[in-house]
Amino acid sequence: MSDEGDQGTTDQQLLAGYVDVWWQAINDFTGLLEKIPAEQWSTPTDLAGWDVQAVAAHIAHLEGILAGAPEETVDVGQPAHVTGLMGLYTEQGVVARRERTPDEIINEIREAATRRHTALLADPPTDASARPETIFGGVPWSWGTLLRNRPLDVWMHEQDVRRAIGRPGGLDTPAAKHVADYLAESLGFVLAKRVGAPAGTTAVLEVEGSEPAAYAVNDAGRGERLPRAPADPTVRLAMDRESFICLAGGRCAAPGTVRVEGDEALGERVLANLATTP
């Protein structure tokens, strides 16, 4: 995924917009956590090995590091659900907070996010391609990638918690649209690389609440975004926002209706390969 903004938007305006959406997502997430009874914090989520408390601990961990807290090094053992180095890294934040109360975790998120929000407003980044001085796990992200990804992480985990405890909502917020539009940009990669569709194949993704995303496989075998959706694409996928983020986030089966038009076999292959978040 790339850092894309509207033509004419400066980097500082683009990054400030990401900060605004992230801050709203933080407030929505912590507001939700405050309403959850303590006995529901052990409810399993769609994420293997993580309950509600683990999801909240993960957000507290990353927001804390970004706000200047020292990196944590705890022994996570060899849990079956952890794969890869980033998984081991994020698991440290979960394990380190297993004995903390819900209030302690909520307060940690609020305090860390407030420190970082204040700092970003006082000294806003102006170059989306520059590297932040502080970042979690040493990932080689630019300011644009970091600030664009934070609303995605927070909002996706808010939805993980909502599904776990049976409290739907938050699907029409600025963060919800940000995430849906961001994840839709992966359609070209999925179509060309994961599915291996031939040159000339076109696909249109229609997610409720967002503009249609249209891609074509070019002669170089890459998914190229089209300026407008073709009237008769090879395949058209249409679904509600919750179904899309569940599929693109690799969470669970689509809870709503997914409609495939055109090449149905191709459409099913795209849906099966749509998950692009780690």
| Per-residue pLDDT tens digits of the chain, which is 278 residues long | 444 445 578 999 999 999 999 999 999 999 999 999 999 999 999 999 999 999 999 999 999 999 999 998 888 888 889 888 888 899 999 999 999 999 999 999 999 999 999 999 999 999 999 999 999 988 999 999 999 999 999 999 999 999 999 999 999 999 999 999 999 999 999 999 999 999 999 999 999 999 999 999 999 999 999 999 999 999 999 999 999 999 999 998 888 899 999 999 999 999 999 998 86
Q: Can you give the pLDDT at residue 254?
A: 85
How far apart (Å, rounded) are the C-alpha atoms in residues 82 and 212? 35
In sequence order, the 6+-apart residues with CB closer than 8 A to the CB of 30 are: 106, 109, 110, 113
Q: Which residues pair with 260 in a beta bridge?
A: 237
User: What pLDDT is stored for residue 256 in this prediction?
Assistant: 87
Tokens matching residue 153: 């992480």
pLDDT at position 7, please?
56
Strand 202-207, strand 235-239: pairing = parallel
Please report the domains of the chain, with CATH numbers, ordered by start residue. 11-169 (1.20.120.450), 180-272 (3.30.1050.10)
Residue 1: predicted pLDDT = 42
Contact 173, 245 (CB under 8 A): no
- Angle, helix 143-165 to helix 241-248, in steps of 10 degrees: 110
Rg, the chain, Cα only: 19
Distances (CA, A) of 97 to 40, 55, 70, 102: 16, 11, 15, 10
Distance CA 39, CA 49 (A): 17
d(CA 14, CA 21): 11
**Amino acid, single-letter form, for residue 141:** W
As a residue count, the chain comes to 278
